[in-house]
A and B are shown apart, each in its own frame.
Chain A
Amino acid sequence: MLSRLREQKLRAIEERYDAVSATIAALLKHPQVTVPAAAILQFLERSLAALQNRIGDVRAQAQFSVMHDREFDNALLRSRRVFDKLVVLMDHVAKTVTFPAPPELRESLRSVVKGIFGSGGELLLHSEPGINYTIVELRDAQIETILEALSPFGRVKPPDVDRFFSVGLPSAEYDQALVHCIIAHEFGHHAWDWRILSKFLELRPDVEPFSNFDNSDEQVLGLAIAGEWATEIAADLFALYVFGPAYTCAAIHYASALTALDEPTTTHPPIRLRLHVLLDLMDEAYTIGQNENGEREFAYGQHMSDFFGMWRPTVESKRLGVAGGNVPKGIATAVLDALVTRAPRLRAMARRLATTYGALYDVQQYTRDLTLVRCIGNYIPPVQYLQEGNPQLTTTAGILNASWEYFLGGLEEFGRALPSELTADRHRLSQVFNEFVLKTLELNGLAARWWATRKDS
């Protein structure tokens, strides 16, 4: 016989489980739930069933055998700890329904994840309050923790996914396809192994400038900040290998609108430093020869070339510095100098890293994708390459690079054949262009999925 107190405690827990179980069931039926989201929900169903069984066991044990209060409460506590984690994981799926991202983007960005992390990579996409992109790797941060916590109660089958990312797009920009190249930076945070990066860059207390700090607090802070900043720059460099020059365009476009160029935080270096390292690596990767004056010739399209040319003097090394921000100036300056000195090593690591991931973007692909710009000028979504015979699908990176090249040239020509109400103000015209890019991504994703499914079946 259970005491009234124990009965109340068990019922309270069972009611929570029932509520979550009902939410999971409702989400599974929701028309906007995607295949990867459903995989998470099914895992949550299995995990919750294991918890419900566990609570059933505790009830039986307490009812039919001697169970001390402490033992009873400990059993409930263990279940509660797992339950918290299940709800957090469920919320990642719920956000894809309550704050959805444009459906046109889902498949194309999913294909990017699979391109980087292989077929075991998956993506949940939602919009997020604020101006920042967010990323959580659910497999390591959530699913493994749940599996471990559930292991005493029995084995639960995890989703068949190795890297499961939940990505939040800034809400005000949620449908801006060109800006979303920035997502590649977030993937970059999960591509680099921080320990190797730190070792390779010699971010150690006995190495300059960290050995020069007067006290150990400054040294610890300096090393921590250097680590954070190096990770951000490394993520930028990885993003360049995912989306090519389109990433740099998006980074400049977005960051320059929202952040002062020389203002660092403890977690993010000044934008000017980031662009300095990024442009250097990009120029190196996209050099295709020399002209008769010995100057480097780049593969960039004309409008990107003008755009980067305009920014290069702004980010050159002699203009690097720090101003404002929440980092003590002495430390910020020392860390900045340390990373400028180590920039060649960072670039070398980025080149090496790019070869370890498959299907990354390179100058040959970029050169081919520039041919797609002509499609856009003729109101044709650049879903496929222009070539004789069987058409070949473009990639998400290809669409974004061609679209950036066209966009940077101005949209006057694009507005030429559009009804006047769509071209009357710049914002409306830019929205129409964005819708065109989204449509292209949608058609490209649909065709890729269709052909892959037909091949499989």
Chain B
Amino acid sequence: MTTQRTQVAIVGAGPAGLILAHLLDSYGIESIVVDDRTRGEIETTIRAGILEHSTVDLLANHVAGSRVLTTGERHNGVNLRFAQENHRIDFAALTGRAVWLYPQHEVLKDLIAARLDAGQDLRFSTRGVRAQSNGTGAWVLCEDADGREFQIDADFVVGADGSRSAVREAITGSHTSGFFKEYPFAWFGVLCEAPPSSHELIYSNSDDGFALISRRSETVQRMYFQCDPEDDTSAYSEEQLWDILQRRVPGTELQRGHIFQRDVLRFRSFVASSMHKERLAIVGDAAHTVPPTGAKGMNLAVADVVILAKALRALLREGDARLIDGFEDAV
């Protein structure tokens, strides 16, 4: 077994792990990032697409080559629709801020390219991760793509490895230790080949239930409607799906097209019972999972790592543990 040494080992090459690695590098702290997925899987899995103002500021100003401002779409408002009325929430007028539509997998392409272009350590297809801490250091044991076991010794290990986090168990003592809520409804999501039905997002309440008209690009659209968590995605024809969506969004004629992906997103909230122990911490979905309603998952993860990066800078460069000791409260 080979052993390597770094200052921070990061498990998970999603937005939280990669942005943390980037921030740490800017603070002069080296890291190794591992992920059990291939680069192709990470860069093609379609997830959320709404970035908050501060997330965009961070990507645009601090990540070399980020395309968020050139490829992303600024949205200055959204529409709330109920009782046959449309109410536009004007972000720009109310707050001076906005959100950007820029899909998560595009964010990840930028972050991966920036890290690899800078010659920094990022390892895909790394499986069987186990993490431990002894109070003054921590380590990660895992297998590379060829099944060879290796160990990363680090001053600190961060789990940014999603809702099924392997690092969380090392902190909380149990994979499920925390606070959990499951909602009695879910979202039926579709991806379709069609022009946009609305420039800005529509969140619609109707007697038939909720629907969200979102977008991905000029030719691909994302739409959701409230459904039963046990709904079978294959139980509906495309025409039935369009009819359900249309009934729930009165006042807008939906632009129909081929539905090429459909899924049921269950609504679950989870907060881990602890997010930090000794030289281990978890961030993003590993620490707290939220339903997709407010497009908050990635943005909360980014807020986490901004706080954690400052705490690790204080700990590893100045020997000051006060911020990391207060990390859980700050998050």
**Is chain B found bound to chain A in the same assembly?**
no
